[in-house]
Amino acid sequence: MFGFLNIYKPKGITSHDVISYLRRITKIKQIGHTGTLDPFAEGVLPVSIGKATRLIEYLSDDKAYIAAVQFGKTTDTYDIEGQILSESDIQITKDELSAVLVKYQGEIEQIPPKYSAIKVNGKKLYEYARAGVDVEIKPRKVFIEEIKLLSFNKESQLAEIYIKCSKGTYIRTIGYDLGQDLKCGAYLTNLKRVQAGDFGVNNSITLYDLKTAEDVEKHLIPPVDKLPLAKVILNNTEYKRVSNGMQIHSNQEGILSLIFDNSLVGVGIGDGKEIKVKKFIGIK
């Protein structure tokens, strides 16, 4: 059994909880995900099963979220689960918020929240934070492909914002930074990941849909459907060579999906003359 699952992770559980559950019902240890989703957040969590874990690095890694941002307060975690640090009477308008959002388009620098899993000297930031230890958190560059205001309630000062971004972007930090720019403070009350690479929320399944190994196998997505790589169709002779780690002749270049019998059997690198096998998966 191998392939991808488009899981919808509910609030209140970790990405590791999802993996542990799937390992338990399938009896397969080789299971991984393509990007952690905090317990506070919900939404799309692509999961790889079996030999498909070897293909994670080739999946598209851009993400898209819908964030509910509450203006007028700050918390230590930048979300609703933290302790309130400050409050403000400043009331912002929809036009003011829209004008500030423009500056977040494109490449930006952000400082990750201290309650995050980034490691400093081998220790996670949230471990330092819980111990009351201050450490230097260096800014990092991320790319915001699209950011737009979906809705804004002037009375409650609650906004819903769509953000499409690069891997490693902290949406909680964007919410916090918006509050600082508008001088009123802000934190997230809800966060939903609606896209992870080619995996979308509309085609996702919840863990409650998966009760047996048979359920998992029924919902598996073949790797050939999700890897954004140019395809090389192998004949019988070429497949035998590839399965033995041998090169094949081809004028294609770059990282390539190797296809045999309508299945992805490996990944190769072409130089315009031949293709070298980088990873061999084999027939399902």
The pLDDT of residue 208 = 85
Q: The whole model's pTM is what?
A: 0.89
Lowest mean pLDDT among 96-100, 113-117, 185-189, 207-211: 113-117
94-122 tens-digit pLDDT: 999 999 999 999 999 997 776 666 666 66
C-alpha 8/C-alpha 71 separation (Å) is: 28
Residues 168 and 203 in one domain: no
Angle at the Cα of 187 from the Cα atoms of 160 and 185, rounded to 5 degrees: 110
Residues 112 and 213 in one domain: no
Residues 192 and 202 in one domain: no
Q: Which residues constitute the domain of residue 92? A: 63-196
Asked if residues 76 and 53 have their Cβ atoms less than 8 Å apart, the reply is: no
SS3 170: coil
Residue that has been written with the tokens 């990944």 in this structure: 267
Residues 169 and 244 in one domain: no
Residue that has been written with the tokens 């009351």 in this structure: 132
Handedness of CA 241, 242, 246, 250 (dihedral sign): positive
Residues 69 and 188 in one domain: yes
* 38 catalytic residue (yes or no): yes
The pLDDT of residue 114 = 66
The pLDDT of residue 117 = 65
pLDDT tier at 152, thresholds 50, 70, 90: very high
Is residue 136 over pLDDT 70?
Answer: no
Angle at the Cα of 230 from the Cα atoms of 224 and 231, rounded to 5 degrees: 55
Residue that has been written with the tokens 């799937």 in this structure: 22
Identity at 124, one-letter amino acid code: K
240-272 tens-digit pLDDT: 999 998 999 999 999 999 999 988 999 999 999
Residues 48 and 71 in one domain: no
Task: Give me 244's structure tokens.
Answer: 């033995």
25-74 tens-digit pLDDT: 999 999 999 888 888 899 999 999 999 999 999 998 899 999 999 999 99
C-alpha 47/C-alpha 45 separation (Å) is: 6
C-alpha 188/C-alpha 70 separation (Å) is: 6
Strands 186-196 and 42-49, how do they pair?
Answer: parallel
Q: Tell which residue, 154, 144, 155, 41, has the closest CA to residue 101.
A: 144
Q: Tell which residue, 214, 209, 207, 205, has the closest CA to residue 26.
A: 214
Catalytic residue among 17, 38, 181, 225: 38
224 alpha-carbon distance from chain centroid: 20
Residues 141 and 207 in one domain: no
Q: Specify the CATH number for the domain of residue 270.
A: 2.30.130.10
Residues 98 and 188 in one domain: yes
Residues 204 and 111 in one domain: no
Total number of domains constituting the chain: 3
162-183 tens-digit pLDDT: 999 998 899 999 999 999 999 9
Q: Specify the CATH number for the domain of residue 13.
A: 3.30.2350.10
List, in order, residues 6 or more apart from 82 with CB less than 8 Å away: 75, 76, 115, 187
Residues 147 and 247 in one domain: no
Task: Give me 153's structure tokens.
Answer: 């309630």
Residue that has been written with the tokens 């737009």 in this structure: 148
Residues 213 and 172 in one domain: no
The pLDDT of residue 131 = 66
Query: To the nearest whole percent, how much of the chain has pLDDT over 70?
Result: 92
Pick the last residue of a domain from 186, 207, 222.
222
pLDDT tier at 126, thresholds 50, 70, 90: low
Is residue 134 over pLDDT 90?
Answer: no
Residues 80 and 169 in one domain: yes
